[in-house]
Amino acid sequence: MGGTFDPIHYGHLVTAEEALVQFNLDRVVFMPTGVPVRKTHRSVTSAEHRYLMTVIATASNPDFEVSRLEIDRPGTTYTVDTIQALRDLYGPQAELYFITGADAVWDILTWKDSAELAGACTFIAATRPGFDLGRFSEERERGIQMETMEVPALAISSTDIRARFADRRPVRYLLPEAVSAYISKNGLYAEGVTP
C-alpha cells in the first residue's frame, strides 16, 4: 500500500483492511514514499517521521507491516522500481497488488515506465463513493490491471488533518490517538513548521 502518509489516518487503515478482505490478501505492506514525485507545491514531512507514524498506526494489526524500501532508496520514488524490488523479494510466484488512492493513480499512464506496470501487479484504486469508476477504461485498454474499491472512510484526508493541527481544531476519531500524540510531541504540522 503506497502513500505519502503525511500523516496516516483511519481512511488509510480502513482501506487496507477492506483490501485485505475483498482481495483475499495474505498481508498488507505499508510503503511510505521516500521522495514523492510531484510534491513541489508543498514540503513533505521527513520520511523518518512518516515511517514512524505508519509503524505506530499499524502496530496492533498482525496482518499489517511497514516497509522502509522506498524511504531507504535514494532519489525520487517511482512505483515501477518498488514493484521490481518486491518481485525480487517475494519471487515470481507472488501475486502482487498495489493499493493506493484513486486520485493518486488517475495519471498512471504518465508515470515512469508505465508500460512496464502492465502485468507487473494489480492496482487497487481506493476512493470515496461518488468517484467515476469508469475513469480507468483507457488504463485497462493499455493492459494496466486496475481494480477499484469504494471506501466511505476516505472522506478523511491528510490535507485536512494537517490543517486541523495548524489551526488547533479537533482531530480525535480521524487518526489513531498514538499518532496524534506523536504529531503533538514532535511539533509536526504546527503553523509554519515543516520538520
CB of 129 to ligand NAP, least distance (A): 14
Q: Is 42 in the site for ligand NAP (CB under 6 A)?
A: no
Q: Which of 54, 67, 158, 180 binds ligand NAP (CB under 6 A)?
A: 158
HEC readout, 87-113? HHHHCCCCCCEEEEEHHHHCCHHHCCC
Nearest one of 65, 130, 69 to 102, comparing CA atoms: 130
Grid cell of 57 as nine digits:
498506526
Residue 150 binds ligand NAP, judged by CB under 6 A? no
Please choose, from the candidates 180, 181, 179, 183, the residue with its C-alpha nearest in 3D space to the C-alpha of residue 195. 183
Of residues 112 and 140, the one with the C-beta less far from ligand NAP: 112
Q: Which of 18, 19, 28, 36 binds ligand NAP (CB under 6 A)?
A: 36
User: Which of these segments, 30-38, 57-65, 167-175, 183-191, binds ligand NAP (CB under 6 A)?
Assistant: 30-38
Q: Binding to ligand NAP by residue 45, rule CB under 6 A?
A: no
Residues that bind ligand NAP (CB under 6 A): 1-4, 11-12, 15, 33, 36-37, 77-79, 99-101, 103-104, 111-112, 126, 154, 157-159
